[in-house]
C-alpha cells in the first residue's frame, strides 16, 4: 500500500481545485493578451479582434484539463472562441451562447462539438438560445475514436484527436472568407476522414476528486483510453513503444480504412505526462508502419495537443488529406499553442 | 384542489434540501456506472436555484420553474444540467403567468417537462435513464387524474410509479450516456438520474400533500 500511496497522491501546481480553471484563464490572458481576451462568468476565451465582420465564427469548448485544447487554439486562422468547463465537465450553454454572440460577424457561427452526451446537449441548448437571438448557428460533431464501438447501443464514438486538426483546417477555411455552409461541409469532411486511438501508461488525477481516476499496475497499459481516463478496449501487459505504436496505427488504418497511395496527416499526441522524446520514438514507428502499408504521411503533428491532465500515454490520429484540407492545414495560424506561416 | 405558486416554491426548496442530503448517495450511484459527479453537480445546481429564486419567489409558477431551469442549465454542466434544466424550463413554459394551478395543469406541466427531457436526451424507456422514473410517474398521474382522484393521491401515485421505475433500472443495460460505454457492466446498478428524478417527484408529492407527510428519503 505504501507504494500505491506514492503514485496516487494529489501533488499538483494548483492553489485550490475550485480556483484552478479561473487561475489558468487569468494566466492565459496575461501571457497571450496580444491574441486573446478572457471573459469570466460565463468563462469564455475570445479572439482579440473578434467579431470579424463577414467571417464565419468558430466556437468550440469542452471540459478543462485537455490543454492546450481548446483555449490554446483561439486566434488567427483557428478558433474565434473557446468555452472551458470545469475539469472534465462540459461547459454550460450560457458560455457557448456568450461566445457565439461575441464572435458573430454576421456570417454565422459554427459550433465544434466533441461527441460526449453532456457536450452535445449543452451545445444544443446554446444553439437554441443563440438562434432565438437571431444568430445563424451550425454544429459539427467529432467522433473519431475507434476504441469505442459505434452502435445504436452506446452514445457513439468519442471525439478526440481529430478535433484539433479540424479546428486548424476549418479555421484556415473560415479565415479565407468561406461561407457557413462551405465551412460546415469541410468540417464534416475532416471528421469523416479522421480516426484516432489512444493508450495510457498511468492515470490522471482530477483535482476535485483528489485521487487517480483508475488504478493501473506498473507493468500494465490501457489500450483505447479516452481523454478523461475512461476505460479502453483492453488492459494488457506493457509492451515496447514500437509494438504499441503498431497496435494503435494498424487499428486506426483498418478502421477507415486508409489505403495504399493515400496521403495522410499523421498526428502523434501526448496525453500530458509523456515527454516529447517518447512521442518521437512513437512517430518513428508510426512512420515505418505507414511506409510498409504504402500510406504517405504528407504532414505531421507531434506533441501534446489534446491532453488528459498528467496522464502518461499517447494517441495516434490519421487524417486522409486532399488538396483542400492540405491547403488549409498549411495556411497561416497564430494562436497560443499553434503558430506557423506568420 | 388548486396549487399555488408558493406551494411550488416549497417543493423546490424541499428538493434542494434532499439533494444536499443525498449528495454522496447520488454520487456513489454515479461512480459505479458514470463519472461519479451526479450528486455534486446537482447539489451545486440546486444551491444556485435557491439563490436565483430568492428575488422571484413571490412570482407566478412559470417564473419560478423557468428560473429554476435557467439556474440549473447555467450551473450543473455535464448531461444533468441540460436535462434537469429542460425539465423545469418546459414545465415552467406550460405554467406561464399562473399563480394558481389546477390539478390538470400541474400534470400537464410534468408531462411537458418529461417530453423536454426525452427530446433533449433522445432516451426511450428502459434505456436506464431518468426517463425510466419520470415516464411511468406522468403516466400514473394521468391515470389517477382521469379517475378523479384528489391531487395528493395523484402525486403520491406518481411518486410510487417513479420509485418502481427507478428500481426497475437495476437489471437494465444502459443504452444512453456515459454508462452505455460499459455495456453489460452497467447491469446490476441503479441509475443515478432515475434516482434523483424519483426523489424530485416524492418531494413534490410530500410538499403538496395535505395528508400527513411521508418520509422523503426512502432510498438510503
Instruction: Quote the ipTM score.
Output: 0.78
Contact A125 B37 (CB under 8 A): no
- In A, which residues are within 8 Å of B85 by CB distance? 125
Q: Which residues of chain B make contact with A160, given a CB cutoff of 8 A?
A: none
Please give the residue of chain B at the shortest CA–CA distance from A123: B82
Chain B residue at shortest CA distance from A157: B181
Mean pLDDT of the residues in chain A: 94
Q: What residues contact residue A2 under an 8 Å CB cut-off, 6+ apart? A: none
pLDDT at A9: 56
CA A295 vs. chain centroid, Å, equals 24
Q: What value does the mean pLDDT take over residues B42-62?
A: 96
CA distances for B169 relative to A1, A38, A290, angstroms: 36, 43, 46
A278-304 average pLDDT score: 98
Q: For residue B218, is it within any domain?
A: no
Asked if A93 has any chain B CB less than 8 Å from its own CB, the reply is yes
Specify whether the CB–CB gap between B116 and B86 falls below 8 A. Answer: yes
Share of chain A above pLDDT 90, in %: 85
Q: Find chain B residues with C-beta within 8 A of A155's C-beta.
A: 176-178, 180-181
Q: Please check whether residue B154 touches A, CB under 8 A.
A: no
Question: Which SS3 state, helix, strand or coil, does residue B110 take?
Answer: helix
Q: For residue A118, give the nearest of B78, B180, B181 by CB distance.
A: B78
Q: pLDDT at position B177, please?
A: 82
Residue A269 to residues A133, A242, A304, B126: CA-CA distances in angstroms?
Answer: 39, 15, 5, 38
Query: Quick one: pLDDT at residue B215?
Result: 43
CB contact under 8 A, A209 and B36: yes
Domain housing B145: 3-208
User: What's the pLDDT band for A60 if we cut at 50, 70, 90?
Assistant: very high
What does the alpha-carbon distance between residue A22 and residue A222 come to, in Å, rounded to a whole number? Answer: 31
Residue B34 CA, distance from chain mean position: 19
Q: Would you state the torsion angle of the CA atoms of residues A60, A61, A66, A68, taken in this order, to the nearest 10 degrees?
A: 50
In chain B, the residue whose alpha carbon lies closest to the alpha carbon of A228 is B35
Tell me the nearest-neighbour CA distance from A175 into chain B, angstroms.
31
pLDDT of the residue at A5: 42
pLDDT at A314: 98
Asked if residue B116 belongs to a domain, the reply is yes
Which pLDDT value is given to residue B32?
Answer: 84
For residues A96 and A83, the answer to whether their CB atoms sit within 8 Å is yes
pLDDT value at position A154? 74
Number of domains in chain B: 1
- Tell me which of A142-156, B44-58, B144-158 is least confident: A142-156
d(CA B108, CA B102): 10
Cα B188 to Cα A304: distance, rounded to the nearest angstrom: 38
Angle at B15 between CA B10 and CA B19, to 5 degrees: 155
B213 domain residue, yes or no:
no
Q: Where in chain A is the domain with CATH 3.40.50.10440?
A: 21-193
Identify the CATH number of the domain in which residue B161 sits: 1.25.40.340
Nearest-angstrom CA–CA distance, B194 and A246: 43
B108-138: per-residue pLDDT in tens?
Answer: 999 999 999 999 999 999 999 999 999 999 9
The C-alpha cell 481516476 sits at: A213
Residue B202 counted as domain residue = yes
Query: Residue A263: pLDDT above 90?
Result: yes
| Contact at CB, A92 and B81, closer than 8 angstroms | yes
Average pLDDT of chain B to the nearest whole number = 91
Q: How far apart are CA A126 and CA A128, in angstroms?
A: 5
Per-residue pLDDT, A8: 52
Give yes or no for a contact between A144 and A191, defined as CB atoms under 8 angstroms apart: yes
Angle between helices A323-330 and A162-175 (to 10 degrees): 80
Name the residue among A76, A161, A77, A82 with its Cα closest to residue A123: A82
pLDDT score recorded for residue A102? 98
Assigned architecture for domain A194-320 = 2-Layer Sandwich (3.30)
Work out the average pLDDT over A314-324: 98
Q: What is the spatial distance between Cα A297 and Cα A311, in angstroms, rounded to a whole number? A: 27
Asked if residue B33 lies in contact with residue A54, where contact means CB atoms within 8 angstroms, the answer is no
Instruction: Give the three cell numbers for residue A278.
Output: 517518447
On whether residue B155 sits in a domain, the answer given is yes
The yes-or-no verdict on residue A148 having pLDDT over 90 is no
Instruction: Using pLDDT thresholds of 50, 70 and 90, give the confidence band for residue A153.
Output: low
Residue B214, pLDDT above cutoff 60: no
For residue A322, the model assigns a pLDDT of 98
Q: Which of B75, B77, B192 to mutate to test the interface with A (most CBs of A within 10 A)?
A: B77
d(CA A237, CA A46): 44
Instruction: Evaluate whether A225 touches A313 at the Cβ level (below 8 Å).
Output: yes
3-class SS of residue B176? coil
Confidence of residue A3 (pLDDT cuts 50, 70, 90): very low
| A230-254: pLDDT as tens digits | 777 889 999 999 999 999 999 999 9
Residues B80-111: pLDDT tens digits? 999 999 999 999 999 999 999 999 999 999 99
A18 vs B112: which has the higher pLDDT: B112
B83 upstream amide cis, omega within 30 of 0: no
| CB atoms closer than 10 angstroms to residue B19 | 24
CATH topology of domain A21-193: Rossmann fold (3.40.50)
For residue A89, pLDDT beyond 90: no
pLDDT in tens, A105-129: 999 999 999 999 889 999 999 998 8
B72 neighbourhood in chain A, CB within 8 Å: none
- Percent pLDDT > 70 in chain A is 96
Helix (H) or strand (E) holding B42: helix B38-53
Catalytic residue ranges of A: 66, 228
Amino acid at each position: 500500500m505504501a507504494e500505491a500511496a506514492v503514485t496516487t497522491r494529489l501533488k499538483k501546481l494548483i492553489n485550490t481545485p475550485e480556483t484552478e480553471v479561473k487561475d489558468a484563464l487569468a494566466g492565459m490572458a496575461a501571457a497571450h493578451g496580444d491574441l486573446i481576451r478572457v471573459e469570466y462568468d460565463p468563462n469564455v476565451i475570445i479572439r482579440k479582434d473578434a467579431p470579424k465582420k463577414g467571417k464565419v465564427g468558430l466556437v468550440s469548448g469542452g471540459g478543462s484539463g485537455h490543454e492546450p485544447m481548446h483555449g490554446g487554439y483561439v486566434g488567427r486562422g483557428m478558433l474565434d472562441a473557446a468555452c472551458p468547463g470545469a475539469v472534465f465537465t462540459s461547459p454550460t450553454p450560457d458560455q457557448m451562447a456568450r461566445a457565439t454572440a461575441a464572435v458573430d460577424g454576421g456570417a454565422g457561427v459554427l459550433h465544434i462539438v466533441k461527441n460526449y452526451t453532456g457536450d452535445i446537449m449543452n451545445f444544443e441548448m446554446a444553439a437554441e438560445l443563440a438562434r432565438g437571438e437571431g444568430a445563424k448557428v451550425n454544429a459539427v460533431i467529432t467522433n473519431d475514436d475507434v476504441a469505442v464501438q459505434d452502435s445504436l447501443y452506446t452514445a457513439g464514438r468519442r471525439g478526440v484527436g481529430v478535433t484539433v486538426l479540424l479546428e486548424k483546417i476549418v479555421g484556415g477555411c473560415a479565415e479565407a472568407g468561406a461561407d457557413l455552409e462551405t465551412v460546415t461541409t469541410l468540417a464534416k469532411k475532416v471528421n469523416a476522414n479522421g480516426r484516432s486511438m489512444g493508450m495510457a501508461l498511468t492515470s490522471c488525477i482530477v483535482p476535485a476528486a483528489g485521487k487517480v481516476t483508475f488504478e493501473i499496475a506498473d507493468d500494465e497499459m490501457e489500450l483505447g483510453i479516452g481523454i478523461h481516463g475512461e476505460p479502453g478496449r483492453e488492459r494488457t501487459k506493457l509492451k515496447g513503444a514500437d509494438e504499441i505504436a503498431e497496435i494503435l496505427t494498424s487499428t486506426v488504418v483498418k478502421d477507415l480504412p486508409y489505403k495504399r497511395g493515400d496521403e495522410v496527416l499523421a498526428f502523434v499526441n501526448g496525453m500530458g505526462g509523456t515527454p516529447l522524446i517518447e512521442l518521437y520514438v512513437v512517430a518513428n514507428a508510426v512512420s515505418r508502419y505507414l511506409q510498409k502499408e504504402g500510406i504517405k504521411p504528407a504532414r505531421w503533428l507531434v506533441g501534446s495537443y489534446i491532453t488528459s491532465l498528467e496522464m502518461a500515454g499517447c494517441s495516434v490520429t490519421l487524417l486522409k488529406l486532399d488538396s483542400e484540407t492540405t491547403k488549409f492545414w498549411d495556411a497561416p495560424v497564430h494562436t497560443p499553442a499553434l503558430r506557423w506561416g506568420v | 384542489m388548486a396549487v399555488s405558486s408558493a406551494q411550488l416554491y416549497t417543493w423546490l426548496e424541499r428538493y434542494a434540501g434532499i439533494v444536499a442530503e443525498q449528495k454522496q448517495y447520488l454520487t456513489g450511484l454515479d461512480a459505479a456506472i458514470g463519472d461519479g459527479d451526479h450528486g455534486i453537480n446537482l447539489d451545486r445546481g440546486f444551491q444556485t436555484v435557491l439563490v436565483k429564486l430568492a428575488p422571484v419567489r413571490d412570482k407566478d409558477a412559470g417564473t419560478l420553474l423557468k428560473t429554476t431551469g435557467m439556474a440549473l442549465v447555467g450551473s450543473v454542466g455535464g448531461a444533468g444540467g441540460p436535462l434537469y434544466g429542460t425539465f423545469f424550463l418546459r414545465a415552467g413554459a406550460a405554467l406561464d403567468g399562473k399563480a394558481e394551478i389546477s390539478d390538470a395543469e400541474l400534470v400537464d406541466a410534468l408531462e411537458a417537462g418529461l417530453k423536454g427531457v426525452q427530446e433533449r436526451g433522445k432516451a426511450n424507456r428502459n434505456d436506464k435513464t431518468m426517463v425510466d422514473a419520470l415516464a411511468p410517474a406522468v403516466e400514473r398521474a394521468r391515470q389517477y387524474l382521469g379517475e378523479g382522484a384528489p391531487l395528493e393521491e395523484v402525486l403520491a401515485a406518481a411518486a410510487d410509479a417513479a420509485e418502481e421505475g427507478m428500481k426497475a433500472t437495476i437489471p437494465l443495460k444502459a443504452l444512453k450516456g456515459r454508462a452505455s460505454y460499459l455495456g453489460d457492466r452497467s447491469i446490476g446498478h441503479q441509475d443515478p438520474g432515475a434516482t434523483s428524478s424519483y426523489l424530485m417527484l416524492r418531494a413534490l408529492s410530500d410538499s403538496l400533500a395535505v395528508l400527513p407527510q411521508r418520509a422523503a428519503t426512502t432510498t438510503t
